[in-house]
Amino acid sequence: PETGCLSIIVLGASGDLAKKKTFPALYNLYRQGFLQSNEVHIFGYARTKISDDELRSRIRGYLSQEKENHEVSEFLQLIKYVSGSYDSGEGFTALDKAISEHEISKNSTEGSSRRLFYFALPPSVYPSVCRMIKSYCMNKSDLGGWTRIVVEKPFGKDLASAEQLSSQIGELFEEPQIYRIDHYLGKELVQNLLVLRFANRFFLPLWNRDNIDNIQIVFREDFGTEGRGGYFDEYGIIRDIIQNHLLQVLCLVAMEKPVSLKPEHIRDEKVKVLQSMLPIKDEEVVLGQYEGYKDDPTVPDNSNTPTFATMVLRIHNERWEGVPFIMKAGKALNSRKAEIRVQFKDVPGDIFKCQKQGRNEFVIRLQPSEAMYMKLTVKQPGLEMSAVQSELDLSYRQRYQGVVIPEAYERLILDTIRGDQQHFVRRDELKAAWEIFTPLLHRIDNGEMKPIPYKPGSRGPAEADELLQNAGYVQTHGY
């Protein structure tokens, strides 16, 4: 691993994302020894005028419930705060000065200096912040090192706006310096997909249109927009979840075997999947909006924004022609769950009448309670010769007792420090993702497609279940 001084700069340090996700992830990395106090300094930057200690006490509550905790106190001592606006040379000059002082004090004549800028900011300020960093805060060490930026969605609202943002950032930073986070790529079972698919003989010959009937990728939340109505209404469930999180999962499920595990090889294969997608058909989309969504004062009374969507995506290639990929995402539903369901075709020439028991299905549950299970048909134990559906079950909690599964952000931040872009979205990937959804999103934005109301706490509109059945999904039994 590289050594030398590491400065992590959290821009938007007083905001929600920073407090709830970024600082806790940094703390966990620190606690596990991935951030060494003799090398690392963390800088918070935001407009609010507060002291170092005020920032520290704001963060403290998100790190540990214990009042006295040495690790927390040590970690907080690594944090300094600089205030300034997002478009002023003055603020960023002060920030650069603080970083440089730290570099001089810790460095290390022999070490290089590394600067990681984490944007916990609204994307509207990305271009100006990038300009400021480029003008005032780049790593200047002669001894090497780097400057990297970490950004998070929303990357635009459609193809044109995303491309505009990409060019603005791309004029200032090279692709290897830009880390576009999609936190689903940091989830344990999403990272497992590559191993599962390409290291198991079981799956290799079956993973195609000859054997698989349909694939569902599902995200459900049992709560609504909860104070984020203003943001959400601008974007809706397709931009918030499907175009990024679920589509990334789909790429890993559908892609061909990469040449190697090099980030570029993996990302090349993902892009090919996206580029092979057929346009989404209106008749294969069901939109919903939960009743009560518009009671949020920040949501307009006539909002047409979907909080639920089910749709069929189709990949036009040799492996997947004719296999529907059913994407389903919704807020305020009956449960919180994210899973991938791979449903196999019926067994030909069935002598057991198994179809009545259900098809083979392979389920990967991303959350909660990570698990993988295979639904298969076995003989009903007992004197009779009858078939019944059962499960081969790998539940992480049981199998890996005592193993703490890292938070997605923790893992991804560590990757940014290590310079591993495998789990980050490349610019051409982002563009291809927007190409798929932009026509549909424009039709929804223009009011040409309307969401169907559904009751909070329900399964969403019944029309979505019909779409699922029409796409070929057969309800199985058991879990």
Distance CA(374)–CA(387), nearest Å, equals 16
Could you tell me the smallest distance in angstroms from the CB atom of residue 339 to ligand BG6?
Answer: 11
Residues 272-291 that bind ligand BG6 (CB under 6 A): none
Distance CA(342)–CA(214), nearest Å, equals 6
Per-residue CA distances from 185 to 64, 201, 250, 413, 425 (Å)? 26, 24, 11, 12, 9
| C-beta of residue 53 within 8 angstroms of C-beta of residue 95 | no
Environment class of residue 23 by beta-carbon count within 10 Å: exposed (0-12), middle (13-18) or buried (19+)? Answer: buried
The residue annotated as part of the active site, out of 245, 265, 423, 477, is: 245
Could you tell me the smallest distance in angstroms from the CB atom of residue 183 to ligand BG6?
Answer: 6
**Total number of residues that touch ligand BG6 (CB under 6 A):** 4
Could you tell me the smallest distance in angstroms from the CB atom of residue 290 to ligand BG6?
Answer: 14
Residues 330-359 that bind ligand BG6 (CB under 6 A): 338
296 binds ligand BG6 (CB under 6 A): no
Nearer of residues 221 and 296 to ligand BG6, judged by Cβ: 221
183 included as an active-site residue: no
Nearer of residues 20 and 31 to ligand BG6, judged by Cβ: 20
Could you tell me the smallest distance in angstroms from the CB atom of residue 57 to ligand BG6?
Answer: 26
Distance CA(55)–CA(33), nearest Å, equals 23
Could you tell me the smallest distance in angstroms from the CB atom of residue 338 to ligand BG6?
Answer: 6
240 binds ligand BG6 (CB under 6 A): yes
Nearer of residues 221 and 429 to ligand BG6, judged by Cβ: 221
Nearer of residues 163 and 240 to ligand BG6, judged by Cβ: 240
Residues 158-187 that bind ligand BG6 (CB under 6 A): 183
Could you tell me the smallest distance in angstroms from the CB atom of residue 334 to ligand BG6?
Answer: 16
Nearer of residues 76 and 246 to ligand BG6, judged by Cβ: 246
Position of minimal CB gap to ligand BG6? 240
CA dihedral 149, 150, 151, 152 (to 10 degrees): 180
Nearer of residues 21 and 106 to ligand BG6, judged by Cβ: 21
Cα atoms in the 13 Å half-sphere on the side-chain side of 390? 9
Edge to edge, the sheet with strand 79-83 lists: 79-83, 40-46, 4-11, 112-119, 145-152, 178-181
Could you tell me the smallest distance in angstroms from the CB atom of residue 406 to ligand BG6?
Answer: 13
Could you tell me the smallest distance in angstroms from the CB atom of residue 291 to ligand BG6?
Answer: 19
Contacts with ligand BG6 by CB under 6 A lie at 183, 221, 240, 338
Residues belonging to the active site: 245
